[in-house]
Structure 1
């Protein structure tokens, strides 16, 4: 009899929890589409997630902060947020829920009083003016950027994707192929939305908004103002232009005011958002680069270790998914190892990430060597950092340091702290943080001055989110954030 009563209580609790989660989803959707307030849960995206996803994210959050993060508390805080008159914002409901239970000494009268206190500076932020965006190139990164920009458009208060430029002459066939590649991606799944083709206007209608497809061999020859586009940011992911002189051609076209390169750039600032973006003034920098996916993965972690323990020297080895630059079957290639079938071989490759990161963190100049191995998986990479540190540390010590940075401070969007014992590469697909610290894999030498850190990264999705974060900063459309 007692077991049956206990089981019935469990069923009732599960029903109540799923009902609360349904309300959680509704409020987060209303906040996003009605007020341009984006809710995340310890950096994890919430929009378009289902009930089971939200429950699992709450369980991860509770394990991460070692305190229960209840869906019932989250809903109560969301109700309070929804009652406030807030500007477009990005709010971490996980952190708010955690702090609500941690700030008992503040003696808040109720949840609403707590929320008002925590978000009191929200209306002090500058008014955000939306920025038109042009994607120059439509390869792997270009398409992931397009998907994320379109799904996260909301009311269009920040970045608005207005046009995509390709080398192909745009016709019905090109539009059909582009639409097909956007609808379904073998790695990242189906696009959350609808895509229609408008042949007469050379455009795709994505989630009801028009995105023009343009063709050009010379960026300077384009006139974007013909399409109602002005003061735009060009995100160049074509792989063709890498130096300042070439990228300046974009500024000669009508309707463009800034240019961003999704690769390491020459003679222009290379920026990893969260690490050195504040060193570069959005008012004066018209051309800038988002560095590489590997640099974005290692720079946040190296910044933490350098600031906390000091780095004497080290070696970086990246285990990187194969890319379109390799051959699917054995064939001639200018780089010999890349001649061999990408899906069957591990291939040693070069990376300049060791040198590149010293441009982001100057104190590391000359301290790091680096190399890479391409492996037969389509997405998901791993950086292994073998470092000699100045100050002694322990496994608990280094994990505590990185957990703190993942929970609060300037790198919360960049570092995800993994608690999984069985982490493998497919687990990280779709992670928006560029650096996923594998806390269960870290090795500390007996002398406590040599550490080996394992940093996973989604070299497409995580990197694309870094590109978008940097684009928002340089375009001056960053909202009030609480994370």
Structure 2
């Protein structure tokens, strides 16, 4: 007969874990604000997390790792990191703790282990902060603003300096923009402080002034008037899509590079962690972050193409409705998109198949694609129906993708889920570009045809990919330990 611990012992254990999580939060905050060192736990953000959320992350990690870690082990590693000389970095505390747990250490040996594991950190060049301008302030623009401000840290990285809009910045508009940044029907309230500065005009976010600039044309702006130099212009308007149009940004004084948050023509289309090293950063000044769907499926396709090989396939995107659809039935220049978005499933075209070929040239001509817009405001699903070159099983495929989510250069891009109850609302707020729904994986009887279900937050996950690419093209690349 088994005996469960008493209620008092259970309460005592939880209190110890909660207090450890509180101590961990203090270390995370200190390292971030004072040393520009960001601690994450198996890719999940720890900064500003509640103790209960941290304990939940640690509990969930047991489903993915062979040897789960606990909060006390994690806190011990964090305490040693806090005492170590660190350069600006992003360190996966979960992975570092797991690696340490696989060995038996004395306290001194543990410190030496961390020193050896992070030895490459000190070979990094000193980061030079870069100014960022958001050209447009829609769904992606506002999420980028949130992330840029939350990632300001010690001020040694990307610095949001201005937001450009094409309409006038009168008092009503400025107050409205502040409210839209502060509150969001999908992603919730922004936990930072947002104040409208009517006189300047500007938004003061967490005490930092972000100028609001009104301009009809990019070339009309002189950013240096606002103290902005060598800026990265992140164009999230969708108004300019090719090299010639986007080059207009570079005529603005103070602008240095341009990043488009949509597929672009005549410019490098990049999915970070898949093909970012294929573009010459010295030669090019204009880049595209491709689409949310391309960012979701390319990491998965890259893993499969580089291991078992892909003969051909079809991509079907089940995508949330977007602002380019009608709220009620009305005229629209594209077929079917004129029908009420919140009431209908709408078949529409997608360039995902062709777009993937720009990122993974070996798949050129092998993929077809289509899309269905559905009545949810955010959260999308890509169904990959692929004929592969080598026979496989469900277990082999899931093991392959699980490994990619924990090791290698795609750990930020791929999240692996064993959750049998996963639905679209569950993946909102996920920073990974792709979430593998492992229980849904299908493999044909002959082992040559596979069907994968890949979830993605088409707003939040994509915004994080834009941020990662921004750091890459500007050279503000922190040391990372994954």
Give the equivalent residue in structure 1 for 2:31.
31
Aligned length: 481
Counterpart secondary structure, 1:378: coil
Residue 197 of structure 1 deviates from its aligned partner by: 1.5
For the residues of structure 1 that align with 2:107 and 2:408, how far apart are their CA atoms?
Answer: 24
Q: Per-residue CA shift, 1:220-243, capped at 9, x if unaligned? A: 110000000000000000110000
For the residues of structure 2 that align with 1:319 and 1:347, how far apart are their CA atoms?
Answer: 10
Give the equivalent residue in structure 2 for 1:81.
81
Counterpart secondary structure, 2:6: helix
For the residues of structure 1 that align with 2:81 and 2:13, how far apart are their CA atoms?
Answer: 25
Give the equivalent residue in structure 2 for 1:98.
98
Q: Does 1:162 align with 2:179?
A: no
Give the equivalent residue in structure 1 for 2:351.
352
Give the equivalent residue in structure 1 for 2:125.
126
Give the equivalent residue in structure 1 for 2:334.
335
For the residues of structure 2 that align with 1:101 and 1:48, how far apart are their CA atoms?
Answer: 26
8 Å CA contact 2:335–2:348 kept in 1: the answer is no
Counterpart secondary structure, 1:8: helix
8 Å CA contact 2:69–2:101 kept in 1: the answer is no
Matches within 5 A, 1:244-263: 244-263=243-262
Matches within 5 A, 1:426-437: 426-437=425-436
Counterpart secondary structure, 1:373: strand
Residue 3 of structure 1 deviates from its aligned partner by: 6.2
Residue 5 of structure 1 deviates from its aligned partner by: 5.8
Counterpart secondary structure, 2:148: helix
Q: Does 1:69 align with 2:55?
A: no
Q: Per-residue CA shift, 1:286-310, capped at 9, x if unaligned? A: 1010000000000000000000110
Give the equivalent residue in structure 2 for 1:240.
239
Give the equivalent residue in structure 2 for 1:153.
152
Q: Does 1:191 align with 2:190?
A: yes
Counterpart secondary structure, 2:331: coil
Give the equivalent residue in structure 1 for 2:281.
282
Unmatched 5+ stretches in structure 1: none
Give the equivalent residue in structure 1 for 2:298.
299
Unmatched 5+ stretches in structure 2: none
Counterpart secondary structure, 1:65: coil
Counterpart secondary structure, 1:33: helix
For the residues of structure 1 that align with 2:72 and 2:175, how far apart are their CA atoms?
Answer: 45
Residue 428 of structure 1 deviates from its aligned partner by: 0.4
8 Å CA contact 2:320–2:378 kept in 1: the answer is yes
Residue 168 of structure 1 deviates from its aligned partner by: 0.8
Give the equivalent residue in structure 2 for 1:52.
52
For the residues of structure 1 that align with 2:114 and 2:237, how far apart are their CA atoms?
Answer: 44
Give the equivalent residue in structure 1 for 2:325.
326
Q: Does 1:218 align with 2:217?
A: yes
Counterpart secondary structure, 2:440: coil
Q: Per-residue CA shift, 1:42-92, capped at 9, x if unaligned? A: 111111110110011001112111322111000000011001111111000
For the residues of structure 2 that align with 1:65 and 1:4, how far apart are their CA atoms?
Answer: 26
Q: Does 1:469 align with 2:462?
A: no
For the residues of structure 2 that align with 1:208 and 1:55, how far apart are their CA atoms?
Answer: 31
8 Å CA contact 1:197–1:203 kept in 2: the answer is yes
For the residues of structure 2 that align with 1:245 and 1:297, how far apart are their CA atoms?
Answer: 28
Give the equivalent residue in structure 2 for 1:446.
445
Residue 430 of structure 1 deviates from its aligned partner by: 0.5
Residue 111 of structure 1 deviates from its aligned partner by: 2.3
Residue 284 of structure 1 deviates from its aligned partner by: 2.3
For the residues of structure 2 that align with 1:19 and 1:449, how far apart are their CA atoms?
Answer: 51
For the residues of structure 2 that align with 1:158 and 1:62, how far apart are their CA atoms?
Answer: 33
Matches within 5 A, 1:395-406: 395-406=394-405
Q: 1:402 to 1:164 in 2, by over 3 A?
A: same
Counterpart secondary structure, 1:440: helix
Q: Per-residue CA shift, 1:355-407, capped at 9, x if unaligned? A: 00000000000000000000000000000000000001111111111111111
For the residues of structure 2 that align with 1:103 and 1:442, how far apart are their CA atoms?
Answer: 34
For the residues of structure 2 that align with 1:307 and 1:60, how far apart are their CA atoms?
Answer: 29
Q: Does 1:202 align with 2:201?
A: yes
Give the equivalent residue in structure 1 for 2:309.
310
Give the equivalent residue in structure 2 for 1:383.
382
